Amino acid sequence: MAEQAVPATAREWHLAARPQGWPAPTDFALVEAPVRTPGPGEILVRNTHLSVDPYMRGRMNDVKSYVPPFQLGAAMDGGAVGYVVASEAEGFAPGDAVLHGLGWREYATLDAGNAVKVDPDAAPLSAYLGVLGMPGLTAYAGLLAVGALKEGDKVFVSGAAGAVGSLVGQIARLKGASLVVGSAGSAEKVAKLVDEYGFDAAFNYKDAPVAEQLAKAAPEGIDLYFDNVGGDHLEAAIGALGVHGRAVLCGAIAQYNETTAPAAPRNLAMAIGKRLRLEGMLVRDHAALQPQFVTEVAGWLKSGELRTEETVVDGFENAAEAFIDLLRGVNTGKMVVRLEG
């Protein structure tokens, strides 16, 4: 690729304030900062796509969690892909495409050990932030390793039109689930799940109580629930799960902007009588599945058996708005910010 001059300064997004409840654009600040020349073992990357993900909302709070909080007045970070423009690291050369963790900025200088080379000819670069990246592995490992999906299982997934959920439903179908039900937040998303992604049934959780709609979609109940939402979705799933049913607790997005504890699930004690297994998961525990995941998912993409979608927001200056829109459900499939094509 053509050599490009590296500017002396470039933009990065800082956390300006910690939100109470829903984040606002004023909680973020766009800051011009020096682009640091790489030292020994480091590379300088020009980011082409940034990931905005629901877990970043938790990092805006000053609480101890499985990922450290963003620091006030400092650059935020997260998944990104781009091209190496300068390298002081063995095995990395200008023009190499890489995936790394210093998103929310136009240029990133980082230890090459924290970057992974990716093949821009095998898939569009942004796919490494979505279907072939962290959300893809979350769906694959959550459903197969944690949820132990079996052929014939009746599966329900919430957040079903999102990056993780849309893959969970399709992988369940490809692996022989006998029923795949999804919930999402608009009529358009619901139609897409059934018409394009091959779900057997789907419903808009805003139309009527989740338990009521789930009972209609899965009258004989479910064996496996993949939870992206928490709250009343989890309560409805506990009600619908049969004896020895399993729930994969992947996310609880309905709670991320709430300032009070959720009312549901109120029926957790049913887990005893039904001998349910409710298991939390973190994708980072499943790195060992990465090669198997990439091989199998890339195969399904090539054969056309797996459909994916991205919601692409153009312009680095729109990243904060894109993140807020993700929490609002503006996206279908993976939400990415494109800095350049």
Q: How many CB atoms lie within 10 A of CB 292?
A: 13
Among residues 79, 159, 169, 221, which is the contact residue for ligand NAP, using CB under 6 A? 159
Please identify, using beta-carbon distances, which residue of 89 and 160 lies nearer to ligand NAP.
Answer: 160
Q: Which stretch binds ligand NAP (CB under 6 A): 20-28, 79-87, 211-219, 323-331?
A: 323-331
Least separation, in Å, of the C-beta of 130 and ligand NAP? 9
Q: How far is the CB of 273 from ligand NAP (least distance, A)?
A: 27
Contact set for ligand NAP, span 261-290 (CB under 6 A): 281-283
Q: Which residue in the set 254, 276, 294, 336 belongs to the binding site for ligand NAP (CB under 6 A)?
A: 254
Q: CA-CA distances (angstroms) from residue 7 to 35, 46, 112?
A: 7, 10, 21
Position 162 contacts ligand NAP (CB under 6 A): yes
Tell me the pairing of strands 42-51 and 334-338. Answer: antiparallel
Positions in 112-141 near ligand NAP (CB under 6 A): 135, 138
| Tokens linked to 92 | 């990395």
Other Cβ atoms closer than 10 A to 303:
9
Which of 259, 207, 205 has its CA nearest to residue 19?
A: 259
CA nearest neighbour of 100 among 119, 81, 121, 84: 81
Residue closer to ligand NAP, measured from CB, 41 or 69 = 69
CA 18, distance to chain mean position in Å, is 22
Q: Please, what is the Cα angle at 120 between 118 and 121, to 5 degrees?
A: 125
* Stretch of 2-10, 34-42, 288-296, 324-332 lying at the interface with ligand NAP (CB under 6 A): 324-332
Record the tokens describing residue 260, joined without a space: 């009070």
Contact with ligand NAP (CB under 6 A) among 61, 114, 178, 186: 186
CB of 121 to ligand NAP, least distance (A): 26
3-state secondary structure (DSSP) of residue 186: coil
User: Within 31-90, which residues bind ligand NAP (CB under 6 A)?
Assistant: 53-55
Structure tokens that stand for 32 in this block: 């011009």
Distance in Å, CB of 283 to ligand NAP, minimum:
4
Half-sphere exposure of 199 (CA within 13 A, CB side): 28
Residues forming contacts to ligand NAP in the complex (CB under 6 A) are: 53-55, 135, 138, 159, 161-165, 184-186, 189, 205, 228-229, 250-251, 253-254, 281-283, 326-327, 329, 331, 335
